[in-house]
């Protein structure tokens, strides 16, 4: 397993199998030799593997540049066939860009929220503990349950929370109801500012 991981850029056998499945989608782009077709396929790979990156407005210029550059390489080498190792290079670059984008987004959320380092640490611990799937995402229902522990949420408050969520949380591709940590921070900032469901006053009583 360790040898396989080193050969495939540090990815696990399970991840490599998934990348092979996506790599099979290159056959259409390869046979057409069309840069537009290659770009569409590469964009679809990004949307499936890195939905947060694909939906990030700030990352679009760098993402489009990466996709366009890779598409040119694929089309230029179409006659010789597309190499899986070259495909993994693209995936690694997506991974790197995704991490950079998430770090930048989190730094911006910390600055805008004006939470203290201690508060950010507390929110991160809450987020990680609630993230049972280890996906670095929390669905709407789980966030609602976290808030319900502090202050009961009736139907009217749940609907209000949905409206606030849609105004703050960036959709992750087709997933409108999951939040990453930076958006979770901004969501909590807003809810505390407006004292949603008396969260601020109840939190102060518990502290």
pLDDT score of 1:
35
Model confidence band, residue 35 (pLDDT cutoffs 50, 70, 90): low
Averaged pLDDT score across all residues of the chain: 84
pLDDT score of 6:
40
H/E element, 138:
strand 138-139
- Least confident interval from 19-28, 49-58, 108-117, 121-130: 19-28
pLDDT in tens, 176-207: 899 999 999 999 999 999 999 998 887 766 55
181-193 and 199-206 helices, crossing angle to 10°: 100
Q: Is the pLDDT of residue 78 over 60?
A: no
In the chain, what percentage of residues exceed pLDDT 90?
A: 48
Q: Please give the residue that has the higher pLDDT: either 58 or 194.
A: 194
84-113 and 60-76 helices, crossing angle to 10°: 180
**pTM metric for this prediction:** 0.77
DSSP label at residue 33: T
Cα–Cα distance between 145 and 152 in angstroms, integer?
A: 9
């Amino acid at each position: 397993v360790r040898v396989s991981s080193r050969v495939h850029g540090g990815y696990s056998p399970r991840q490599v199998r998934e990348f092979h499945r996506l790599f099979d989608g290159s056959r259409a782009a390869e046979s057409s030799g069309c840069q537009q077709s290659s770009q569409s396929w590469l964009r679809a790979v990004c949307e499936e593997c890195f939905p947060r990156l694909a939906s990030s407005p700030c990352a679009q210029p760098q993402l489009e540049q990466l996709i366009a550059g890779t598409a040119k390489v694929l089309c230029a080498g179409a006659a010789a066939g597309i190499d899986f190792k070259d495909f993994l290079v693209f995936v690694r670059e997506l991974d790197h860009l995704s991490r950079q984008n998430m770090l930048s987004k989190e730094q911006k959320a910390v600055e805008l929220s004006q939470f203290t380092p201690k508060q950010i640490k507390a929110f991160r611990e809450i987020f990680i503990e609630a993230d049972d799937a280890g996906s670095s995402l929390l669905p709407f229902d789980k966030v609602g349950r976290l808030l319900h522990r502090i202050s009961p949420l009736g139907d009217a408050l749940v609907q209000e929370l949905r409206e606030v969520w849609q105004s703050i949380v960036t959709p992750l591709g087709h997933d409108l109801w999951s939040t990453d940590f930076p958006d979770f921070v901004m969501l909590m900032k807003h809810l505390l500012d407006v004292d949603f469901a008396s969260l601020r006053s109840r939190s102060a009583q518990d502290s």
